[in-house]
Amino acid sequence: MEDQQEETFVGHLEALRSVLIKSLLALAIMLLPMFMLAPTILNALIKVILQDSEVSLNFFSPMEVFVLQIKIALVLDVLLCFPYIAKQVWNFILPALYNSERQFIKSIVWISSSLFIIGVLFCLFFILPLVIRFGMSFVTDNIQPVFGIGNLISLALWLSVVFGLMFQFPLITYALLRFGIVSYQTMTGKRAYVLIGILILSGLLTPPDIISQLMLTFPTYALFELGLFFGKK
């Protein structure tokens, strides 16, 4: 019996090792193409974020743009390889799940990915241009903006990830209700605490300006209510 358990444990380790190797190999293979694509993505990001704002971007060190392109390539690499990596992880955990659990997790993966993409697009096309316009509202004859490309793109990447993650709120709410971890009555009775928690998270995760904080808070809370609606039995 112990020998069988040991063989099973070793088999799981081998399967996990295979998943890790395949995932890392996929990331390594796609990194160079993503780096070659990074300049095009960088220019597209700048156009989307700045839109019609008359803002000139500057870089303050010889390697700044190159480092930015590496960051963009890494993000693109992870995003592009995510479906393949998710499939490998899925194949690893699949044998241990019941049929109902398989269907639930499978649907959650697709919904989670969609919500993440929606959060990123919402941030890039709506929030960041709004932040830029808010910043430009302080321009006077004596105060002129000088925007660093490194700061702007790093902010865009960070906020995109933050919005993508915060847009997972309906799934978290739905899962808590579905598995009976928290009752619907308890959750609805704690709406004020949830809103305060979202406000605190928004303040911690966004720049110190009220616009981006509120624009993260409102859709996140709306998504929490959406999760409540679908999680109600």
For the segment 179-197, what is each residue's pLDDT rounded down to a tens digit? Answer: 777 777 887 887 888 888 8
Residue 224 forms part of a structural domain: no
What's the domain count of the chain?
A: 1
CA-wise closest residue to 226 among 148, 161, 174: 174
Residue 75 forms part of a structural domain: yes
Inter-CA distances, 125 with 10, 14, 121, 165, 215, Å:
48, 44, 6, 17, 13
Residue 108 forms part of a structural domain: yes
Residue 102 forms part of a structural domain: yes
Residue 200 forms part of a structural domain: no
The pTM (predicted TM-score) of the whole model is 0.75
pLDDT at 125 over 60: yes
According to the model, what pLDDT value does residue 64 have? Answer: 87
Residue 206 forms part of a structural domain: no
Residue 228 forms part of a structural domain: no
**Structural domain that includes position 17:** 2-167
pLDDT at 142 over 60: yes
Q: Mention every residue, 6+ apart, whose C-beta is less than 8 A from residue 169.
A: 198, 220, 223, 224, 227
CA–CA gap between residue 223 and residue 214 (Å, rounded)? 14
Report the C-alpha dihedral over residues 188, 194, 196, 198, rounded to 10 degrees: -140
According to the model, what pLDDT value does residue 40 have? Answer: 92
Instruction: State the average pLDDT over residues 193-204.
Output: 85
pLDDT at 63 over 60: yes
Q: Where residue 9 falls among pLDDT bands split at 50, 70, 90?
A: low
Name the residue with higher pLDDT: 1 or 170.
Answer: 170
Residue 184 forms part of a structural domain: no
Identity of residue 142: N
